[in-house]
């Protein structure tokens, strides 16, 4: 209620929370990705742990107001460690009927819905498939519904801005952001500074967005609608310098760091493809760190340019997603035969074919392990979170240069686009990457091998060390073309032995060393599995978790670990690809838990399966 002195804010009850899940949804042009990202920065600066899940439509320019044009951004932030972006939103900010229609089923009963009433007009209701206005027909009675005409309030605040109606409409996301910052007790000053920096070259847009932001904050602060505001309990944060980072940005920084640590220049040859393009763009901004970027005309040119760079003595990288990986396979086989250090990053998406370009899936594991003609083994590793992409980039580079082999690094659209806090490492703590080019010509044989079965890395033009490269089989020592059957078998076997002998750390177990149930995961399922296991342990269940970074070869101790549990469960965002590999290699029965919906696992989905098996 309004107090006698008019100070409504002081009369409000402030509720303390341990965690909250918020989802912003609207048309692609409503700026929901920006709104979610800016809100994430605000909670990060407050020292809270968080995890995000951007959800883009596959249609580049879907018709306004349609169900398949909805864009979303979900964040969970907490005073405790956060594993996922959350199962079900506590708060849904819906900018139009289509956004409400496609997301309502996920919202917790009793949760908050903030609806932009100005967009709930007849034409938009029809596009979303509503017979009646859901804001008026009682269908939302089980939720806390707050109806705000965000568009109209934004237009009113910017009436004298001099902007066009279209430009004013683009500011309404900042009005919504202002409402949410007020509702969750976050100050405006840092966000205003962010806006001024973001729009430094367009100060009139900066001023308009700041006005909209302040208007939204003032509205939430002064209206009687919000009787309660919320405040996150203080977080216990490890000391250090943090930044918010996406998986693609972390991947780019990891390879730039590998270049600096090894003293070898980095070359990336890539063709833009969703959701991997950001890696190329991030590295293009790091050209002052001995980074050369080449935007190729197609996927084949991308990897072939990288092979040429590796032959020339550069740390070589190419990036892609599933369909592009298919196009790169013949050239990848060439890199295996040439035994050159090259890393291929596959930011996986839903398939097959074009599939679900903006959705998450772990669909390419078997392609990574087996997807080439001939006997063509390649080391495969996978990152499990956005910040882990940095470490995996360093590990991929280490394997590539130590063993003179191509390496495949698997991330996915969920990891690549998601953000989380990253404790920036001390440079002195990073692993050293030792690279030695051979320069001594005496006794040189192009394919003579060291103790790691790796041949020497020789830069073109080194006197007396000229040697042949190409796609035909090589002589075991000289590197000359060889059609000898026994030589071919020998070369195939030694390349396989090299990959099988790569030094990787043993698998680690979270939970009991033996018992009823072991969950084995890889990639982006980590957060959901880890949280579900903790919940099961708190409920008295005997559950352990092993998460695999190295998928080919696998850790030497993995077979012994699997044998110590009665049941092995493998949750995957595919139809059981790791399950198939584990059965094949260890001759043990495993239970797959598959999800192929373009969405990550909910914690509850894995937890419910744990309870069934225990």
| Residue 461 maps to a domain | no
| Spatial distance between the Cα atoms of 106 and 113, rounded to a whole number of angstroms | 12
**Mind listing the pLDDT tens digit for each residue in 241-290?**
999 999 999 999 999 999 999 999 999 999 999 999 999 999 999 999 99
Same domain for 268 and 206, yes or no, is: no
Q: What percent of the chain has pLDDT over 70?
A: 98
Q: Would the pLDDT of 523 be above 70?
A: yes
Among the candidates 210, 232, 254, a domain finishes at 232
Same domain for 263 and 286, yes or no, is: yes
Q: Would the pLDDT of 22 be above 70?
A: yes
**Mind listing the pLDDT tens digit for each residue in 53-112?**
999 998 877 889 999 999 999 999 999 999 999 999 999 999 999 999 999 999 999 999
Q: What is the CATH number of the domain that holds 184?
A: 3.40.920.10
| Spatial distance between the Cα atoms of 383 and 419, rounded to a whole number of angstroms | 14
| Residue 448 maps to a domain | no
| Residue 172 maps to a domain | yes
| Residue 54 maps to a domain | yes
Same domain for 216 and 77, yes or no, is: yes
| Residue 439 maps to a domain | no
Q: Would the pLDDT of 210 be above 90?
A: yes
| Spatial distance between the Cα atoms of 306 and 313, rounded to a whole number of angstroms | 11
Length of the chain in residues, anyone?
614
The DSSP result for 96-119, as a single string, is SHHHHHHHGGGSPTT-EEEEEGGG
Model pLDDT, residue 387: 97
Q: For tokens 């699997």, name the residue.
A: 562
**Model pTM score:** 0.95
**Mind listing the pLDDT tens digit for each residue in 1-10?**
233 334 545 5
Q: Residue 589: which residues within 8 A CB-CB, separation 6 or more?
A: 568, 583
Q: For tokens 């073309």, name the residue.
A: 481
Same domain for 176 and 259, yes or no, is: no
| Residue 139 maps to a domain | yes
| Residue 179 maps to a domain | yes
Among the candidates 232, 254, 286, a domain finishes at 232
Model pLDDT, residue 1: 29
| Spatial distance between the Cα atoms of 91 and 74, rounded to a whole number of angstroms | 10
| Spatial distance between the Cα atoms of 293 and 373, rounded to a whole number of angstroms | 29
Name the domain count of the chain.
3
Both structure tokens of 543:
């559950």
* 213: containing domain: 8-232
Model pLDDT, residue 100: 98
Same domain for 290 and 423, yes or no, is: yes
| Spatial distance between the Cα atoms of 398 and 417, rounded to a whole number of angstroms | 25
Same domain for 185 and 281, yes or no, is: no
Q: Chain-centre distance of CA 455, in angstroms?
A: 34
Same domain for 174 and 288, yes or no, is: no
Q: What is the CATH number of the domain that holds 343?
A: 3.40.50.970
3-state secondary structure 398-455: HHHHHHCCEEEEEEEHHHHHCEEEEECCCHHHCCCCCCCECCCCCCCCCCCECCCCCE
Same domain for 104 and 14, yes or no, is: yes
Helix (H) or strand (E) holding 204: helix 203-222
Same domain for 190 and 224, yes or no, is: yes
Q: For tokens 């260890």, name the residue.
A: 586
| Spatial distance between the Cα atoms of 303 and 77, rounded to a whole number of angstroms | 39
| Residue 83 maps to a domain | yes
Same domain for 255 and 193, yes or no, is: no
Both structure tokens of 268:
């990336």
Q: What is the CATH number of the domain that holds 565?
A: 3.40.50.920
Q: What is the DSSP letter of 298?
A: S
Model pLDDT, residue 42: 94
Model pLDDT, residue 237: 78
Same domain for 300 and 392, yes or no, is: yes
Among the candidates 429, 464, 488, a domain finishes at 429
Same domain for 285 and 330, yes or no, is: yes
Model pLDDT, residue 583: 98
| Spatial distance between the Cα atoms of 303 and 321, rounded to a whole number of angstroms | 13
Helix (H) or strand (E) holding 346: strand 342-348
């Amino acid at each position: 209620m309004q107090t006698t002195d008019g100070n409504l804010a002081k009369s409000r009850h402030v509720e303390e929370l341990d965690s909250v899940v918020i989802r912003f949804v609207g048309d692609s042009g409503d700026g929901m990705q920006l709104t979610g990202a800016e809100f994430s920065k605000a909670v990060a600066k407050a020292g809270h742990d968080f995890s995000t899940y951007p959800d883009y439509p596959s249609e580049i320019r879907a018709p306004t107001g349609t169900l398949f044009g909805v864009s979303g951004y979900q964040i969970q932030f907490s005073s405790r460690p956060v594993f996922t972006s959350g199962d079900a939103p506590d708060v849904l900010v819906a900018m139009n009927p289509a956004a409400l229609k496609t997301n309502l089923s996920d919202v917790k009963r009793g949760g908050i819905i903030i609806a932009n009433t100005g967009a709930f007009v007849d034409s938009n209701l029809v596009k979303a498939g509503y017979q009646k206005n859901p804001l008026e027909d009682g269908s939302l009675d089980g939720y806390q519904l707050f109806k705000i005409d965000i568009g109209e309030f934004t237009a009113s605040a910017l009436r004298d801005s001099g902007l066009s109606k279209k430009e004013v409409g683009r500011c309404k996301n900042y009005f919504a952001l202002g409402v949410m910052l007020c509702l969750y007790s976050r100050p405006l000053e840092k966000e205003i500074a962010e806006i001024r920096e973001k729009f430094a070259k367009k100060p009139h847009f900066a001023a308009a967005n700041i006005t909209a932001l302040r208007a939204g904050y003032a509205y939430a602060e002064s209206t009687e609608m919000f009787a309660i505001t919320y405040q996150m309990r203080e977080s216990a944060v490890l000391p250090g310098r943090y930044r918010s980072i996406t998986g693609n940005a972390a991947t780019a920084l990891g390879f730039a760091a590998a270049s600096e640590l090894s003293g070898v220049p980095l070359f990336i040859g890539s063709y833009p493809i969703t959701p991997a393009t950001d890696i190329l763009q991030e590295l293009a901004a790091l050209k002052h760190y001995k980074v050369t970027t080449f935007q190729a005309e197609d996927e084949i040119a991308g990897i072939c340019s990288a092979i040429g760079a590796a032959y020339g003595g550069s740390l070589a990288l190419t990036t892609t997603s599933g369909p592009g990986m298919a196009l790169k396979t013949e050239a990848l086989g060439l890199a295996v035969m040439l035994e050159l250090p090259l890393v291929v990053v596959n930011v996986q998406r839903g398939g097959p074919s074009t599939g679900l370009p903006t959705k998450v899936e772990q669909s390419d594991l078997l392609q990574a392990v087996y997807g080439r003609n001939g006997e063509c083994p390649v080391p495969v590793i996978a990152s499990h979170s956005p910040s882990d992409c940095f470490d995996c980039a360093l590990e991929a580079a280490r394997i590539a240069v130590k063993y003179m082999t191509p390496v495949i690094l698997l991330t996915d659209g969920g990891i690549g686009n998601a953000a989380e806090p990253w404790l920036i490492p001390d440079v002195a703590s990073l692993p050293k990457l030792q690279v030695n080019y051979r320069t001594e010509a005496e006794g040189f044989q192009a394919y003579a091998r060291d103790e790691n079965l790796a041949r020497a890395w020789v830069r073109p033009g080194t006197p007396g060390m000229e040697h042949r490269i190409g796609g035909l089989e090589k002589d075991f020592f000289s590197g000359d073309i060889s059609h000898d059957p026994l030589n071919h078998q020998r070369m195939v076997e030694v390349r396989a032995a090299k990959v099988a002998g790569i030094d990787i750390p043993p698998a680690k177990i979270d939970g009991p060393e033996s018992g009823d149930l072991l969950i084995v995961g890889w990639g982006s399922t980590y957060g959901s599995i880890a949280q579900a296991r903790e919940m099961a342990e708190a409920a008295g269940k005997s559950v352990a978790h092993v998460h695999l970074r190295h998928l080919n070869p696998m850790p030497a101790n993995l077979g012994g670990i699997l044998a110590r549990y009665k049941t092995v469960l493998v949750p995957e965002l595919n139809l059981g690809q790791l399950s198939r590999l584990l059965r094949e290699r260890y001759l043990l029965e495993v239970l797959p838990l598959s999800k192929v919906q373009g969405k990550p696992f909910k914690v509850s989905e894995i937890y419910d399966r744990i309870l069934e098996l225990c």
